Structure 1
Amino acid sequence: MKVFGFLLFILYTIIAPFIQFLFYLAIFLSPRARRFHELRLRADIEIKTLEVPNNNLYWLHGASVGELDQAKALAREIKRREKNCLLLLTWVSDSVTERNLIDSPCDYHYPLPLDGPFSYNLILRTFRPKKLILFAWDTWAWLIRSAKSSNCQVYLVCATLGDTSSRNKGVLSYFTKLIFSWLDGVYPAHSILEKDFLSILSSKQKSLMKTLGDTRFDAVVQRIQNTKPNLHFQDWATKNRKFHEGKLNLVFASTYPNSELGIIEWLSTTRLKGRISLWIFPHKIKKERLDTIQERVQSSAWSLSKFSENKPESEIQLMDELGLLAYAYQHANLVYVGGGFQHRIHNVIEPAYFGNPIFTGRKIENSSEALVLESLHGLFRYLSMMELLLDLELKIVNQFDFSEIRLRNKNFVLANTGASQRIYEEIWKHPKV
């Protein structure tokens, strides 16, 4: 079976240049692809000018913003233990911006090249990393193969692999098994995910698997406890809650257009007017999209304003400023977290930290924390947005008691901190300090 996996790897290697060629064609047609390429071109130019000291250097890689939060939490622990080490942080998604790197303790920050047999030569030659730490699920075949060929140990931490993942099914499972056979350690984010990894790890590798937790818990708790939102938001939130005293505040986080349409449709029929207020945080803030939401709601009996308009008395607040969502949860009574009706649910640790009951769509398999929260009855998932909203309304009308859920969700987050320390001690085999 390993031979079959290797044949798939050869096929992947043959196809990779063709995929890169198609990407280069897309540069001429897509501004997004062009920006993706330009960021990597600038990174290559900058890396070629670097003179990296001979200090121990470790490479941390995460796919997108959420995984970078995980990486930054571990990076702080590494820097605490090894003050003179150097850290390289890479990512794939174009949703990562300079703003996401402001609080990074890493020394070097670059987007990851497109995967291929020669893609990582420059990085490996320049930085000479001793360890490559991959977060969650981003296991590019040639990234791992190239690192191993350069005598760099490779670990997958905060690992997630949902039972619905295509990588664990059919022909692709053989390719996945081959890639995982190159890893020096696999550390699931939660014990609930162990069964998914056991099915693809060899007997020898199963001894290298250990559930060490998710560093995102550390990142979330540290950020919430050590930072505060800007004074304008604090003042605005106080006024908003005073205007709507006695009402339940519903926070809709990371909403997508289809979900927003569902909310607008629901507002025209709900019996909860006068009993609730809403804060809506769109997944992406675009003026045209915000204006469309505002126009459609204004035709109803509900009052709506954008956060930037500074009208806290409105029943519905359309949040058009970044960086506020994590702090909004402390003012919420019930929370909808987006992504569950699209590709994968967004961050549920932040609302859970404040004890919020969470409502979402069905696609939560890639989030171990969401799966555990569901098992604790602290998260409710639905097949459609309208089903979700109608059940949410029913729970409010029937005065559903959420008090035990609030306590369980809060305790779940606090009980799962400390993963950064556990991962460091396992990989670096250092005693506690």
Structure 2
Amino acid sequence: MRILYNILTHIAIFHVKLVSLFNNKLKLGVDGRNQTFTKLKNCIATNDKTLWFHCSSLGEYEQGLPVFEQLKADYPHLKIVLSFFSPSGYEIRKDTEIADVVVYLPFDTINNSKKIIKTINPQLVVFVKYEIWPNYLYQLHTHNIPTLLISALFKERHSYFKWYGRFMRQSLFYFTHIFTQDKTSKKLLETIHYPNVTVSGDTRFDRVTNQISINNSLNFMTEFKNDKCCIVAGSTWKEDEDILVPFINTIKNDSIKFIIAPHNIKLKDIQHLKERITKSVVLYSEHQNRDISDFDVLILDTIGLLSKTYNYADIAYIGGAMGSTGLHNTLEAAVFGVPIIIGKDYDEFPEAKAMISKKGMFSVNNREELFSILKQLIQNVEYRNKAGNKNSSYIKNNRGAVIQIMDYIRKYIKIKD
């Protein structure tokens, strides 16, 4: 099976390189991977001791960051290598201060896995959530390098638990320890007799809790909100905007402000969104030297401000679940004690299910349902506050994953000085 996997991997690489000639995102990944070993050799000396963190994309990076930060604090003498598989993670976090060098993960071939492990020679490797690469894991195991999978989330439909998934299932056994988000994932691992598993919870709870401890003030946001009720729509897609924009256009209440942070900030799409809104609209890129307190809608045509923006929300709408792209991070808003509205497709997100059951989050199927819950939350302040408080309590009650992971590392993994 390993032979077949390697053949298919090389076939996939050929097709990715071919398609990248016509696809900018794939081209970023191909070009970036061509530079990986040069970047590593320029930064990592043969006598350096290193930690290696790997994430698929930006979401996994945010999930792993609290653990990365604690490891950096505990072992400041070690160099840190951060790798991404996806351009959406690498391009946004390639200058992060958490790492000494940030690279694309080369494709999972035998030669690449041997070469990168020899180049980095890590004291410890931390993979996040879904990252299972058989050749890399096999080589790490062969070299007796401690390798952890954190914030893991397994489903019964995954190949590891099927009769045909023996090869991928074996790869799980190359992890030194797996920390899962929930008990269901642990039980699934136990069905295949994987022994080294701990239910630590989701590290994102620790991540968003840390957000509260920093300065979340934004002067332009204070000016725009102007002490009015503020609805923040974060990480929206067209499907989300198709139901949000009609509400914005029809609501008669002048004491309501709207902030929209689209997931896609291409100029053409931002302009189209702006043109659909009949109320007064200002873009973030236009706000300098303007009195933005007079505008009804602010569109964030930039990245990096959304987490702090939720600090100004009285109600939040989180995008992704109205279409097929996947629900975006709801915990970033929940930590500020804000009631949250999402779309209809959230089955893959246990935190959404939990907050809905606690009545701090509301799922809507269409425009009419969105209008109904928004009007209810706007008009009934007590109801709004109770819903928001349920979300902040949910966050507080689920912290502690980082503590468990770090306790294990300190106790069982020998990291050389």
Give the TM interval when normalised to the shorter protein.
0.7 to 0.9
Aligned residue-pair number: 407
Uncovered stretches (5+) of structure 1, i.e. residues with no partner? 1-6
Name the aligned partner's letter for residue 315 of structure 2: L
| Deviation at residue 336 of structure 1 after TM alignment | 1.0
The percentage of aligned residue pairs carrying the same residue is 22
Distance 1:170 1:97, change over 3 A: closer
Give the corresponding residue for 1:92: 85
Name the aligned partner's letter for residue 422 of structure 1: Q
| Deviation at residue 20 of structure 1 after TM alignment | 0.6
| Deviation at residue 223 of structure 1 after TM alignment | 3.8
Give the corresponding residue for 2:10: 17
Residue 102 of structure 2, aligned match among 98, 105, 109 = 109
Rounded Cα–Cα distance in structure 2 between residues aligned with 1:409 and 1:225:
17
Give the corresponding residue for 1:372: 354
Rounded Cα–Cα distance in structure 1 between residues aligned with 2:67 and 2:262:
29
Q: Deviations over 1:384-423 (max 9, x none)?
A: 3525523423523763713332222212223333322320
Give the corresponding residue for 1:304: 281
Give the corresponding residue for 1:255: 236
| Deviation at residue 134 of structure 1 after TM alignment | 1.0
Q: What SS does the corresponding residue of 1:347 show, helix, strand or coil?
A: coil
Give the corresponding residue for 2:200: 212
Residue 289 of structure 1, aligned match among 265, 269, 291 = 269
Rounded Cα–Cα distance in structure 2 between residues aligned with 1:10 and 1:201:
28
Deviates more, 1:285-294 or 1:79-88: 79-88
Name the aligned partner's letter for residue 196 of structure 1: S
Name the aligned partner's letter for residue 223 of structure 2: K
Give the corresponding residue for 2:64: 71
2:64 is aligned with 1:33: no
Q: Is the 8 A contact 1:218 1:419 kept in 2?
A: yes
Rounded Cα–Cα distance in structure 1 between residues aligned with 2:396 and 2:49:
32
Name the aligned partner's letter for residue 296 of structure 1: R
Distance 1:44 1:156, change over 3 A: same
Give the corresponding residue for 1:225: 213
Q: Deviations over 1:323-356 (max 9, x none)?
A: 2111111111111111223332211221111011
Residue 402 of structure 1, aligned match among 359, 384, 394 = 384
Rounded Cα–Cα distance in structure 2 between residues aligned with 1:385 and 1:100:
35
Q: Is the 8 A contact 1:177 1:200 kept in 2?
A: no
| Deviation at residue 241 of structure 1 after TM alignment | 2.3
Uncovered stretches (5+) of structure 2, i.e. residues with no partner? none
Q: What SS does the corresponding residue of 2:317 show, helix, strand or coil?
A: strand
Give the corresponding residue for 1:4: none
Q: Deviations over 1:13-71 (max 9, x none)?
A: 22111111101111222222222111111222222445425454222111111221233
Deviates more, 1:216-225 or 1:401-410: 216-225
Q: Is the 8 A contact 1:155 1:186 kept in 2?
A: yes
Deviates more, 1:84-93 or 1:19-28: 84-93
Q: What SS does the corresponding residue of 1:305 show, helix, strand or coil?
A: strand
Q: Is the 8 A contact 2:257 2:296 kept in 1?
A: yes
2:254 is aligned with 1:274: yes
Q: Is the 8 A contact 2:315 2:377 kept in 1?
A: no
Q: Is the 8 A contact 1:89 1:109 kept in 2?
A: yes
Which aligned pairs between 1:229-244 and structure 2 lie closer than 5 A?
233-234=218-219, 236-242=220-226
Distance 1:393 1:99, change over 3 A: closer
2:335 is aligned with 1:353: yes
| Deviation at residue 152 of structure 1 after TM alignment | 1.8
Residue 187 of structure 2, aligned match among 182, 190, 198 = 198
Q: Is the 8 A contact 2:360 2:389 kept in 1?
A: no
TM-score (norm 1): 0.84
Rounded Cα–Cα distance in structure 2 between residues aligned with 1:274 and 1:129:
58
Name the aligned partner's letter for residue 209 of structure 1: V
| Deviation at residue 97 of structure 1 after TM alignment | 4.6
Q: Is the 8 A contact 1:74 1:424 kept in 2?
A: yes
Q: Is the 8 A contact 1:343 1:363 kept in 2?
A: no
